Amino acid sequence: MVNYQKPETAIWTGRKSGQQLYLHEKVQCIDLNESSLDSNAKSFALLGYACNEGVKRNLGRIGAFDGPDVIRTQLGKMPNHLGSETKLLDIGSVQCLQEDMEAAQEDLSEKVKLILQSKALPVLLGGGHDMAYAHYNGIKKYLGKNTPIGIINFDAHFDLRSTENGNNSGTPFYQIAEDCKKDNAPFHYLCLGIRKDANDKVLFQTARDLGVSYIENIVFSMNEFKKVTRTLLDFIKKVDHIYVTIDLDGFSSAYAPGVSAPSPMGFTPKMVLETLKLIIGSNKMISIDIAEMNPKYDIDNHTAKLAASLIHFVLDAKNYSNQLW
Ligand SMILES: N=CN[C@@H](CCC(=O)O)C(=O)O
Ligand SMILES: [Mn+2]
Ligand SMILES: [Mn+2]
């Protein structure tokens, strides 16, 4: 069973300026049961994936169901630097109920297609990383199955577990790879921040078998930025469309304690921002999400604020990319 949760205006609060100085004053809440999505190419549409089920099936720590709303809460308090022609829409959340993750994924993918048809940039808020399978499928529904989609995943984990025990938060990219085989389509997947101490030999072998490009966390740092840039640009030039997914558990737990599987030696926010500049600068990013926000383990909202800052950066970068770098 799946539930569409219309956007809650009460979440969007903060300082009041009366002149849209803050994002809670800028955001427009759209209830998809009552109105259609009227947007344009300069706009952004926030969509939540409230789902614990994939993490639970993957034996992780429960809590990601409430991830989307804590990110919204922090984002609303941040300053608005968007022009008046740019819309920031909140179209609510897809909630996974009664363990029916597959139904939630199907619904999410339909809503991603809807956002892309409206020309806005989808910005998805999770929720377990099983969101990626749904997100990718929404992009695929929009582009058609013969258009290659490059996936760039900032993550400590490959999430390439086989589905022999069912689908979960550790299987989304394996599921995509399997679908690509069926469609006779290439699988373009780049993982940034992979931890050797958090992925077993089978996962590394699966990555090799599937031709996955990856950079380990010890290399994914500003000290090695030239090397990272080469790998990234090589990947970007192979595709016309890039789906970006940021799993918060790839950040060092010093920055992101509020996740199911924390990374003491993960990457830094600076590294992700510098990499995002290159991706956004390519003008190929079609959609983006932030996954694995788990408020139950957060400390003083550090992780929720980090997630909101990442989105704030993307809103700014998409609007003013030529002034940022
Ligand atoms: N989406 C997360 N996936 C990780 C979780 C690892 C863990 O629970 O320690 C994985 O399956 O590898
Ligand atoms: Mn992940
Ligand atoms: Mn992860």
* Residue range 308-318, pLDDT digits in tens: 999 999 999 87
Q: Which of 52, 56, 58 to mutate to test the pocket of ligand 1 (most atoms within 8 A of CB)?
A: 58
Residues 6+ apart with CB under 8 A from 260: 55, 60, 61, 62, 63, 64, 128, 169, 249, 292, 294, 297
pLDDT for residue 108: 98
- Phi and psi, residue 242, nearest 5°: -125, 130
In this predicted structure, the answer to whether residue 230 has a pLDDT above a threshold of 90 is yes
161 lines ligand 1 (CB under 6 A): yes
159 lines ligand 1 (CB under 6 A): yes
Q: Which of 52, 168, 206, 260 to mutate to test the pocket of ligand 1 (most atoms within 8 A of CB)?
A: 260
Report yes or no for ipTM above 0.90.
Answer: yes
pLDDT for residue 324: 53
pLDDT band, residue 320 (cuts 50/70/90): low
In this predicted structure, the answer to whether residue 232 has a pLDDT above a threshold of 90 is yes
CA-wise closest residue to 180 among 213, 142, 215, 137: 137
Give distance in angstroms: CA of 204 to centre of ligand 2: 15
In this predicted structure, the answer to whether residue 58 has a pLDDT above a threshold of 60 is yes
Q: Which residue type is seen at 178?
A: E
Residues 6+ apart with CB under 8 A from 223: none
C-alpha dist (Å) from residue 299 to 138, 241, 295, 304: 33, 36, 8, 9
Mean pLDDT score of the chain, rounded to an integer?
96
pLDDT digit string, tens, across residues 239-264: 999 999 999 999 999 999 999 999 99
- Give percent of the chain with pLDDT exceeding 70: 98
> Looking at the whole model, is its pTM more than 0.90?
yes
pLDDT for residue 1: 74
> Which residues crowd ion ligand 2, with CB under 5 Å?
129, 155, 157, 159, 247
Tokens 């389509």 label which residue? 185
pLDDT digit string, tens, across residues 80-130: 999 999 999 999 999 999 999 999 999 999 999 999 999 999 999 999 999
Atom 2 of ligand 1, residue of closest alpha carbon: 170
List binding-site positions for Mn(2+).
129, 155, 157, 159, 247, 249
pLDDT for residue 318: 76
Strand partners, 22: 79
pLDDT digit string, tens, across residues 159-204: 999 999 999 999 999 999 999 999 999 999 999 999 999 999 999 9
Indicate the helix (H) or strand (E) that contains 150: strand 149-154
Give distance in angstroms: CA of 105 to centre of ligand 2: 16
> What is the spatial distance between Cα 226 and Cα 303, in angstroms, rounded to a whole number?
28
- Give percent of the chain with pLDDT exceeding 90: 95
